[in-house]
Amino acid sequence: MRPVIGVISDVKASGGHVVHGVTEKYIYAVARGAQAMPVLIPGTISAVDADMAPEQVVMDEIFDLVDGIFLPGSPSNVGPQHYGDVPHDPPLPADPYRDDISLPLIRAALERGVPLFGVCRGFQEMNVAVGGTLFQKLYEQPGRFDHREDSSRDIDTQYGPAHDVELEPGGLLAGLAGADRWRVNSLHGQGVANLAPGLVVEARAEDGTVEAFRVPDAPGFNIAIQWHPEWRFWQDRLSTGVFTAFGAAARLHAEARSRKPKLKAVG
């Protein structure tokens, strides 16, 4: 059987209702690129049930179901209060319900060795979850490029190659790419200000912006990527390699879980 990957959902209003959902391209990349079964994890359970169980119980229930966690991109941003900053005025798009589940889930996944893969917002969530900070408007920082997409262009152009990144020698991404530079797309307005302690850089843009990192001391596979490898992943060797590696790690985790003895009911 395919491993089960929990995919964190956005929470937003639509037509007078609250919707928990994920853009299809991420689901497809997990299903086909990682050869896994994607299962959507709703934003914080308090958005669904005001009488939610304690956080630890929720984490246990999630990890009883999944063999990996995928953190997709989103139009929303991590709430700045989570890294000691204050909101811009007017505030930027936010999703506090997603923050409430994703940040503790990241920490729990890293601690338990559950395979973890974050893209764009997910990349930023991973940095914040373990103590890093973000530039809320990267494009206003001296010496930094404007990494945002041109929303006036068609979608293929928006997700087209935008700039090179330098891949760290000996890193996971350099090994998968078989190269020390790679051409990537760019669709983000925020970025890493301070990388959390203990993280190691996997890729940087030419302006110094961190574009990928991992947590080397965590017991399981993990990678965070600022660009969008899910977009037509099958056309890009590095994107294909990352999703394949993620799926392989999830399968190993599933096999290890299946070997654990199950407690028998008493009575």
What DSSP line would sit under 178-241, residue for residue?
TSSEEEE----S-EEEEPPTT-EEEEEETTS-EEEEE-TTSSS-EEEESS-TTTTGGG-HHHHH
Contact of 213 with 224, CB cutoff 8 Å: yes
Please give the structure tokens belonging to residue 142: 């001296």
Measured distance CA(225)–CA(206) in Å, rounded: 16
DSSP, collapsed to helix, strand or coil, labels residue 50 as coil
Asked about 228 being catalytic, the answer comes back as yes
Kindly name the residue from 120, 168, 211, 253 that is annotated as catalytic: 120
Measured distance CA(76)–CA(61) in Å, rounded: 26
Kindly name the residue from 188, 202, 211, 228 that is annotated as catalytic: 228
- 16: phi > 0 → left, psi -120 to 50 → alpha, else beta; which? left
Kindly name the residue from 149, 168, 202, 230 that is annotated as catalytic: 230
- Which residue, among 235, 247, 244, 139, has the nearest Cα to 187 in the 3D structure? 139
Measured distance CA(114)–CA(68) in Å, rounded: 6
Measured distance CA(240)–CA(258) in Å, rounded: 27
Contact of 239 with 229, CB cutoff 8 Å: yes
Asked about 24 being catalytic, the answer comes back as no
The residues that are catalytic are 120, 228, 230
